[in-house]
Amino acid sequence: MNEKQPLIPKCTLQYFEDSSNISYPEYIRALGLRNCLEDIVNTIFIYLTDKERTNNKKWVKKNLSEKINLSKNYFLDNTIFNKLIHIKKVGDKIHPAEKHNLTHEEITLALEDIAKVCEWVIIAYLKRNGFNQESWIPTMLSTLPPMYRIHILEELFNYYKKDILGKEDLLDYLNYVQHTETVYMNAIASGQISFELYQELTSKPLPKQQEFSQVLLLIDKLAMAYLKNGDYQKANKFINLQFKENFINETFKSQMLDKLDSLEKAKKQLPISQSLEETKEYFKDILAVVKEEEYSLFITLFTAIVAQDELSKKIIKNK
């Protein structure tokens, strides 16, 4: 497994590496930090602001502080906003009057902050808009190497499971879906109904369907991420824990454990990204079949981070 790089755009990575190089003088490292922040704001945070403000020449003329403030109007929480301000303050110390006050420690802290910012963009977007509101989101996320997916999915699962106040309702929903699917699949197999009719009959949303299906999908995806990261035992323990805590029923648990066992045996044949470069290749294949009308802000943000050149080809072209 390759070392985990920060989840930042490739075009920004060189600035990050310059800032990380302890053989460089502190003011050179701070300059790299400043450039890194500027690049991230112009590559990613531009899409978090009002489109009328960003899709014209006014955005280009704004300074870094103004751009950060515009981004806050979308969904920057205070923690991330403060990190951006802290990074900027360290980067501002490149001026002659302040550059001698720079320390290795503050640059290191700023680098830790900047490594969290882009990953936070993905997490914050999904917290705000939902993990399964677009069918492409779980698929897009699955192109990341498992070690990146684990942290994102853990954050989302811990966030969304807090909304499940009545686990009995969740289990009732799960039992109903499983029973209904079995009944309809038997009816399709016997020729009593068509698959098209099944889709029509099951298209009406159930109460709290979005909330419940989201948590169940996250349980599935997180267990898979543990397995694909080489920790089969952790994947099994995670599923058993969710059963013990009444987030899933016996049927779901058994199906997941069987699924994990089958995938573990065939793991060498699974297309698992080992680096962000491999993610880019898998992502390009998925993006090629996404209909233009299905493009979402998530796809734009994700593309900006993992496949910058594809962004210019597929997103900007369609504005």
pLDDT tens per residue across span 169-204: 888 888 888 888 787 667 667 676 665 655 555 555
Residues 26 and 125 in one domain: yes
CA angle, corner 293, sides to 272 and 135, nearest 5?
A: 40
Last residue of a domain, one of 97, 129, 161: 129
Is 313 a member of any domain?
Answer: no
Are 115 and 174 in a shared domain?
no
Q: Are residues 45 and 110 in the same domain?
A: yes
Output the pLDDT for position 314: 47
Residue with the two structure tokens 């899409």: 47
Same domain as 178, residue 120: no
The answer to whether residue 213 sits within a structural domain is yes
Judged by DSSP in three states, 63 sits in coil
CA dihedral 165→171→173→177, nearest 10 degrees, is: 150
> Are residues 118 and 227 located together in one domain of the fold?
no
Q: Residue 184 in 3-state DSSP?
A: helix
Q: What is the pLDDT of residues 38-92, one digit of tens each?
A: 988 888 887 777 554 455 567 778 888 888 887 776 666 788 888 899 999 998 8
Predicted pLDDT at 315 = 44
pLDDT for residue 144: 87
Predicted local confidence at residue 3, as pLDDT: 58
Alpha-carbon torsion (214, 219, 225, 228), positive or negative: negative
Residue 255 resides in a domain: yes
Q: Do 116 and 165 lie in a common domain? A: no
Claim to verify: residue 170 and residue 263 sit in the same structural domain: yes
Q: Assign 319 a pLDDT band (cuts: 50, 70, 90).
A: very low
Q: Which three-class secondary structure state does DSSP give residue 5?
A: coil
Domain interval for residue 60: 10-129
Residue 74 lies in a domain: yes
* Highest mean predicted confidence (pLDDT) among 8-12, 231-235, 290-294: 231-235
Report the SS3 class of residue 191: coil
Residues in the chain, how many?
319
Domain co-membership, 111 together with 156: no
Please spell the DSSP secondary structure of 94-162, one letter per residue: GSTTTGGG--HHHHHHHHHHHHHHHHHHHHHHHHHH-SSSSTHHHHHHTTS-HHHHHHHHHHHHHHHGG
Residue 250's pLDDT is 94
Sign of CA dihedral 28, 34, 35, 36: positive
User: What average pLDDT does the structure give for the chain?
Assistant: 81
Last residue of one domain, picked from the residues 129, 164, 193? 129
- Nearby residues of 203 by Cβ (< 8 Å), 6 or more positions away: none
Q: Domain check: are 156 and 258 in the same one?
A: yes
Domain count for the chain, please give it.
2
Q: Is the pLDDT of residue 2 over 50?
A: no
Question: What is the C-alpha to C-alpha distance for residues 8 and 115, in angstroms, rounded to an integer?
Answer: 7
User: Of 315, 295, 296, whose CA–CA distance to 304 is shortest?
Assistant: 315
Q: Each residue of 119-146: pLDDT tens digit? A: 888 888 888 888 877 777 888 888 888 8
Contact by Cβ (8 Å): 248, 216: yes
> In which residue are the tokens 């807090």 written?
162
Question: Domain for residue 301, yes or no?
Answer: no
Residue 66, in any domain of the structure: yes
**Beta carbons of 34 and 88 less than 8 angstroms apart:** yes
The most confident of the ranges 152-166, 216-230, 270-284, 304-318 is 216-230
Same domain, 115 and 212: no
Specify the pLDDT at position 94: 85
Q: Are residues 119 and 42 in the same domain?
A: yes
Checking if the pLDDT of 6 tops 70, the result is yes
Residue 146 falls inside a structural domain: no
Select the more confidently predicted residue: 313 or 256.
256
Same domain, 160 and 214: yes
Instruction: Evaluate if residue 279 carries a pLDDT over 90.
Output: no
Would you state the pLDDT for residue 93? 87
Q: Is residue 308 included in any domain, yes or no?
A: no
